[in-house]
Structure 1
Amino acid sequence: MKILVTGGAGFIGSNFCDYCFSNEPSSIVEKIIVIDKLGYSGSIENIKELQNRDNFVFIQADICDQKIVSNILFEEKINAVVHFAAESHVDRSIDNPEIFVQSNVLGTFKLLESSFHYVSSLPRKERDKFRFVHISTDEVYGSIPLEDPPVKEGGVYDPSSPYSASKAASDHFVLAYHKTYGFPAMITHSSNNYGPRQHPEKMIPHMICNALEEKELPVYGKGLNVRDWIYVEDHCAGIWRVLNRGRLGEVYHIAKGKGMTNFELVQKICSQLDELFPRSSGRRYAELIRFVIDRPGHDLRYAIDVAKMKNELGWEAQVELEEGLRKTILWYVQHKDWIRSVLDRGYLLKRQGLCRSVVNNA
């Protein structure tokens, strides 16, 4: 199998490449070609070790460049596309929504066009083997009431942020290409990811880095927003299962299936840090927690049902949160040079507030 991984120099994309070369897929994967424009969240550091492999190729380019993408597809004789490339930071989408439309909507459309024309040119046998997996998010469903059960595949879309709206739009394009043209695509919706190489703007690494530097730990609102956290390697294993066993035109939810409030999560991070790296003052890290003004349109709860992945594909997440957090904390402590290189490229948003003003209709 030759796989084109878009956004493969990003957090989840680079971990997926690692997974393909070191786990069950290693006997099947002949070659991985990564295309990534190296925006703020993509880093050559994330794939540095992979570049020594003969069966790994990195190409710096934008998926909106159909000529480059088409050349890769035809020249490499790609068998599968796993599409991670996207702007994914909600705060950034509120501040500058246009780049999310460009990357997530237009980028996905152009990638679909390039892939569709490539697949159409293949002999029937090769065409039947081709797969396109679009990586999406639980945020497209909007806020799920606390009393409601987790939403199942096919649930009603109700995006709240420019980010989730752009991902919802890209989902619709993918399914439309399947329904209209028979394009061999599938979609995965995951819950919040965490683990090695996640950009320090994201919640878990942000808390880890701030705590170790004795900075405040800013939590939106009262910290009551509920999220389901999945360790990135579990997510990658789920994507691989969908790629190889999923049914065309289907949507699959990849999550741990356990929700907790943001405040509870930060407390867990602080407790592990207290054990692993006690403060020199002897005080607890939880004393650094500060509640800050909530962001606009902040969904109270995300919750997706994972029964389909378990019952149909025999997959479920393996890493418990406590184990995953410990691995993540240790990774960030051991990779301070990586953190510094990422932050040196620009760290524009802070959780205490956003750059764009919001109209008050009260």
Structure 2
Amino acid sequence: MVKVLILGGVGFIGRNLCSYLIENNLVDHITVADKVLPATAYLNSKHKAAFDSPKLTFKQANLTNAAAVEKIFTCDDGSEYDYVFNLAAETKYGQSEGVYNEKVFGLSVTCANEAAKRNIKVFVELSTAQIYDGDKKPSKEDGKTKPWTLIAKYKLKAEEELKKIKGLNLVILRPAVVYGPGDVLGITPRLIIGAVYRQLNEEMSFLWTKDLKLNTVHVSDVVKAIWWVAATKEEKGGRVNPVTTPEIYNLADKEDTNQETINVFIREIFGIKTGFQGTLISNFARLNMESVTEDINDKHLQPWSELCKNSGVTNTPLTPYLDKELLKDNALSVDGSKIENELGFSYDVPNVTLEKVREVIDDFVELGIWPKGTTVN
């Protein structure tokens, strides 16, 4: 009887993981712990079905609180969980370092210590590929680290602390930009901006160049990998003879996605022209990022609000807002082959396609949180 605990299981990746585990009959029971209630999380019909399954139990919890974590780790039947998947973290950009220290670093360490204390078979920590030095060369797992967002800074800090915990059977996953149904922060803001420029009847021009890397991985491959590494790790030892050397794997598809890759789909979906600002304006932006970011967001927020209002969308988590951390010229270039070579994993979505990108929008339209009539067809 396989029982798993998913920390942060209501979020984008968590809800997809729940569906994957239940649809493929991989577990006997799932406990989801999250501060966000499923009823308020804009779950689509597929994800709702997973949360309505008798195999799944939801428990609301503040995972930064050690007492709450200890309670969550206690199974209702008194047994221990086989696997714990930590997908919980502050994901919003632009927060203070104190927030990330508590809700990224502190949360991970608290949950990992509890897992070690209980001798959990495998603890999977979801990190980010933003911890790597942002250059054009694809980063491997042993590549140079130079976090270029505050979230990544505290994810890396958490990684280093988790590696020190004795008895923790640890696997760390570092995904590139994750997209797919439920994606709010990956490529979706760019898609929203595409809808805005269709409304404005203007060309959409991004900073930097078309070659700036923006490597991607579909959420279906991320959740498949989360399960894959846990099951493989247990085969190597598990609770009886744990392999205590942490294992780290990147997750990135074969597309080698860059800014132009996404722009091609934006042109097809919204019927607009796209381009890039060029060296002069981009270099000016680099020196004046605060004001440039403010101007960019001011231009996009009002038209998006009007689109939603005119379409009867009164409440939506979607926004074209871009934080200045994401507007910098940091290349997200990731080598995701190690997990294939070492564990026999394969990517089911090896390339970004128009169908997969449109699927993101269609899912939001069906939920009533994306305005209708924003696309060409």
Query: Residue 253 of structure 2 aligns to a residue in which SS?
Result: coil
C-alpha distance in 1 between matches for 2:276 and 2:186: 13
**Counterpart for residue 255 of structure 2:** 258
**Counterpart for residue 206 of structure 1:** 189
Q: Contact 1:105–1:167 at 8 Å: present in 2 too? A: yes
Q: Contact 2:35–2:61 at 8 Å: present in 1 too? A: yes
Q: Contact 2:204–2:272 at 8 Å: present in 1 too? A: no
Q: Contact 2:177–2:187 at 8 Å: present in 1 too? A: no
Q: CA deviation at 1:288?
A: 9.9
C-alpha distance in 1 between matches for 2:194 and 2:334: 30
Query: Residue 176 of structure 1 aligns to a residue in which SS?
Result: coil
1:195–1:67 Cα change, 3 Å: same
**Counterpart for residue 94 of structure 2:** 92
The answer as to 2:131 corresponding to 1:140 is: yes
Q: Contact 2:194–2:204 at 8 Å: present in 1 too? A: no
Q: Contact 2:253–2:347 at 8 Å: present in 1 too? A: yes
Which one of 200, 219, 225 corresponds to residue 238 of structure 1?
225
**Counterpart for residue 332 of structure 1:** 364
* Aligned-residue identity in percent: 22
C-alpha distance in 2 between matches for 1:264 and 1:306: 18
Query: Residue 38 of structure 1 aligns to a residue in which SS?
Result: coil
Query: Residue 107 of structure 2 aligns to a residue in which SS?
Result: helix
C-alpha distance in 2 between matches for 1:155 and 1:332: 36
**Counterpart for residue 114 of structure 2:** 114
C-alpha distance in 2 between matches for 1:223 and 1:22: 41
C-alpha distance in 2 between matches for 1:215 and 1:167: 38
C-alpha distance in 1 between matches for 2:159 and 2:254: 22
User: More deviation in 78-87 or 245-254?
Assistant: 245-254
Q: CA deviation at 1:223?
A: 4.7
Q: CA deviation at 1:332?
A: 2.5
1:143–1:328 Cα change, 3 Å: same
Q: CA deviation at 1:16?
A: 0.8
User: More deviation in 220-229 or 132-141?
Assistant: 220-229
1:80–1:303 Cα change, 3 Å: same
In the alignment of these two chains, the number of paired residues is 305
Which one of 74, 79, 82 corresponds to residue 85 of structure 2?
82
The answer as to 2:181 corresponding to 1:188 is: no
C-alpha distance in 1 between matches for 2:48 and 2:276: 35
Deviation sequence 1:173-216 (CA, Å, 0-9, x none): 22121xxx1311110111110111122xx252223344446446
1:19–1:116 Cα change, 3 Å: same
User: More deviation in 204-213 or 259-268?
Assistant: 204-213
User: More deviation in 189-198 or 261-270?
Assistant: 261-270
Structure 2 residue runs without a partner (length 5+): 237-242, 286-291, 294-323, 372-377
**Counterpart for residue 348 of structure 1:** none
Q: Contact 1:70–1:118 at 8 Å: present in 2 too? A: no
Q: Contact 1:253–1:305 at 8 Å: present in 2 too? A: yes
Q: Contact 2:255–2:352 at 8 Å: present in 1 too? A: no
Q: Contact 1:267–1:286 at 8 Å: present in 2 too? A: no
User: More deviation in 218-227 or 9-18?
Assistant: 218-227
**Counterpart for residue 341 of structure 2:** 311
Deviation sequence 1:278-333 (CA, Å, 0-9, x none): xxxxxx32369989836358252122222221111111222221142132232223
**Counterpart for residue 15 of structure 2:** 14
**Counterpart for residue 153 of structure 2:** 165
**Counterpart for residue 153 of structure 1:** 141
Which one of 202, 207, 214 corresponds to residue 221 of structure 1?
207
Q: Contact 1:3–1:33 at 8 Å: present in 2 too? A: yes
User: More deviation in 12-21 or 261-270?
Assistant: 261-270
**Counterpart for residue 350 of structure 1:** none
Query: Residue 75 of structure 2 aligns to a residue in which SS?
Result: helix
Matches within 5 A, 1:65-76: 65-76=65-76
Give the structure-1-normalised TM-score.
Answer: 0.76
Q: CA deviation at 1:336?
A: 2.0
1:66–1:226 Cα change, 3 Å: same
C-alpha distance in 2 between matches for 1:138 and 1:73: 28
Q: Contact 2:177–2:186 at 8 Å: present in 1 too? A: no
C-alpha distance in 2 between matches for 1:251 and 1:154: 9
